[in-house]
Structure 1
């Protein structure tokens, strides 16, 4: 039985955060996707809520295409045999959790007409869907733009000081680039030409205007083989999270959690249980959900046990609870996963290298280890 389906543009719009025409995001070189009126259900939708509109060849993504992730990220670029080639444009949709969690209202530009805030933009190359580029452009939600190297989803060096400054983008230019209206304005923003130079109004029902051709996918078209593992993993994680947190939980929110776990490197339920901690999820998961998750995380149980030991036996009750908890997390990160490991393998010399621990607390821990 097929686990994917073909849906209409309206269905694709309704399934997205903010109900926007996400497929109108152009590629970095200005190409954009439109379809012929004969295509009634042109959007491919996967079981986890992922969607794609673009070229196909032999059942795989090929040519210009736009990919929607269930957490509200949109990726536009060129594909070949299901693989992303060259530079792509990545945005976080306003109203999506991934955008709202990285959001300071006073720093955001608003579209003059809709009053919607404008999203984060990344234009550059990817490796295994991680941002990796020697010369990427990033535009923040306040219009601040920089150009420089990125590695593993992070800027290399100090983004504010080390990356080249580009003239800040005005809300008019951002709106031209990232408008998702009923009759969207589609613009181009090339890494060699910033800000965008021109825009063209198109209709959702117009004929494809780029040089590439959208091929009508056949019934055998499905999730590319190399992504089968990701699809199955996200589905398993989503089912586990839903059962764990609440059977009545928002399914869209649970899909987002599953996708976020996967993209953060937790590719299975077992891996989450063994290695995930509250520090990994508290920036994007609701507090009530974090509290329900904690008892099921082995690493969190380890941290809790070590924190109690530090607080009651080693440092004394005068140490702050939050401080002791941070110490416990650091000890686990050092590879000391239980009290026995600390007593057996941690030496006074090791303690002196703990620059994250207060001097007085180092002395207390050293004295305890010397008398074990």
Structure 2
């Protein structure tokens, strides 16, 4: 499946904690058959020491699908990568970009930007255990680092260790003084540096992440020579805007996906998941933005937000919430 993941990486949805769980990914896959999807970050200690294999659960429909791992112990990451490969993931991605306190205390995530040799060792160990592709998601630097000096060194080291595909979040991470939320917005974006890295490392597959909130922007970066674009919050909050035309515009295949049809396609999934003990809000919370900016969207969001937590809430609530959207589009 390696080539599938690489082809799909032309457009990907970023791994986002508390957001890109398996219910979210199932929805996103209905909107785009081609884009590469990522899990939330799963830590190697949780898998290897904690035995939390339920974190690897996914459905076959979600492929092409990448597992993002967080960790900094090469042997443990290699074991976690093995578990991911056995679970059927098409790619294993090492997180070198997350700035949260939790990852700092665990000495992984963006902290790893300060230890390129350790990252190279992690990649080498992971590659020795699995045949699926090992990729990296990183920042342009952290704290006082000068990105133009350290990023080429970082890329050289990971390339030498056998990593050929990297996604670069085009902001620094400030580990001291900024919260994870502030780290998503405050450090300035440096898209030009990512394009420079593609010119300097032309043999590597380089994707850009950070601040991209439309397909138009994604196409612009691809047309300028980048291999891929990863979209985060916009793909979550306005999934139809980003993903329903992605197959046609980015991959030159498929057709426009109508979000109303996608809701109908979600109903059997919702029914099956509820039968397995899930609660409606665990699934419907990812669907709130489906009609963002369209007539009827407010009523859709309100009915789902207010009703999905109620005992016994099921697919009929989703159908009910869809009615104002259908009525509004018929009246338009």
Name the TM-score class by shorter chain.
under 0.3
The structure with more helix, counted as a fraction of residues: 2
TM (norm. structure 1) is 0.25
- More strand by percentage: 1
Higher RCO (CA 8 Å, separation ≥ 6 residues): 2
